[in-house]
Homo-oligomer: A and B are copies of this chain.
Amino acid sequence: MSEFEIIEKYFKNATGNTGVSVKVGIGDDAAVVTVPEGMQLVLSMDTLLSGVHFHSDTAAEDIGYKSLAVNLSDMAAMGAVPVWATMSMTLPDIDHVWLKDFMVGFNGLASEYKVDLIGGDLCRGPLSITIQVHGLLPCDTAILRNGARPGNLIYVTGNLGDAGLALKAMQGAASLSDHDQRYVINRLNRPTPRIHTGIALRGLASSAIDVSDGLLADIGHVLDLSYTGAVLYMEKLPMSDALCRLEQETAWELALTAGDDYELCFTITPEKKEEIENRLNAICPVTCIGKITEQAGIRCIGTGGALFKPAGTGYRHF
């Protein structure tokens, strides 16, 4: 089967949502799309590499889902609506069952958010998937990392640390009940991109970032770009039952430093607290975990006001 037959069979018209905005999709030298007037284009590209971003025995369906989800998460952090995706796959060989399963995972999520696969590339080599997602938002409404101000409240969506616990369990460094194991591995492989939350935060949040490398590392980017610091209250960290069953400091460590959560971390002015909580909790749980300070650095406050010092700092790519 040639590259072109594979593309025809598995990728072309994969998602079936192709709207009028796609003038040329898969099958020409390049794709051609129309960006509606008054909208800006938002671009995010992420690579998932076997053995680095997912375990080599991860199910193809989960890889397909997650490859798209991590990019959608970046759209969420900007407040953008994802619209089109391009994908370059490097495959060790053509395994039709694997490809079909991969696309089940990809398409499931793509359909949910009406994202069209409009182009890409395919070549032979070590398993790796690079996806770029293209989103839209009304001009000048992007939520950036540099807008956090002293006194702002810091929120996160969902729970933190589940994916980190899954990795720990897979490495044999944590022993979980079957139920907890299934729950955290699903959280690792199937993160929920917080698209609707991101959209709802437009005009409300002063900054936002998605938590992919660990809360401390990612909030660190917001603080660096905003020239501020933060205080975080450990007892406020939203954690699943699975995490709460661990020793407290282990759970805090995971919630602060483990990667792959793909939750949103955002800041708001205190006056917006009630509005945010009312509006957002209807979409997904949000929790206030601390506040932005003038003083640089991040202080983590544990039980009884004592400083908590995590051992790790977050996922390092190199």
Contact B77 A29 (CB under 8 A): yes
Contact of A78 among B28, B75, B132 (CB under 8 A): B28
* Complex CA distance for A42 and B118, rounded to whole angstroms: 11
Residue of B nearest to A39 (CB): B35
The answer to whether A312 has its CB under 8 Å from any CB of chain B is no
Contact B125 A32 (CB under 8 A): no
The answer to whether A142 has its CB under 8 Å from any CB of chain B is yes
Contacting residues, chain B, for A152 (C-beta < 8 A): none
Interface-located stretch among A46-54, A165-173, A234-242, A284-292: A46-54
A108 CB to closest chain B CB, in angstroms?
Answer: 22
Number of copies of this chain that the complex holds: 2
The answer to whether A139 has its CB under 8 Å from any CB of chain B is yes
Contact B41 A210 (CB under 8 A): no
Contacting residues, chain B, for A123 (C-beta < 8 A): 47, 49, 52-53, 317
Contact A125 B49 (CB under 8 A): yes
Interface-located stretch among A1-9, A57-65, A267-275: A1-9
Residue of B nearest to A3 (CB): B317
Contacting residues, chain B, for A29 (C-beta < 8 A): 44, 74, 77-78, 145, 208-210
Interface residues of chain A, those whose CB is within 8 Å of chain B, are 1-4, 6, 23-24, 27-35, 37, 40-47, 49, 51-53, 74-75, 77-78, 80, 84, 86-88, 90, 94, 118-126, 128, 130, 132, 134-135, 137, 139-140, 142, 144-146, 208-210, 221, 225, 316-318
The 8 closest A-B pairs by CB, nearest first: A3-B317, A30-B44, A29-B77, A35-B35, A130-B130, A29-B74, A47-B88, A31-B43
Enumerate 29 A-B pairs (CB-CB under 8 Å) in ascending A order.
A2-B317, A3-B316, A4-B221, A27-B145, A28-B142, A28-B145, A29-B77, A29-B209, A29-B210, A30-B78, A30-B80, A33-B41, A37-B37, A43-B84, A43-B134, A44-B119, A45-B88, A46-B121, A47-B130, A49-B123, A49-B125, A51-B125, A52-B123, A88-B130, A90-B128, A122-B317, A122-B318, A124-B318, A125-B128
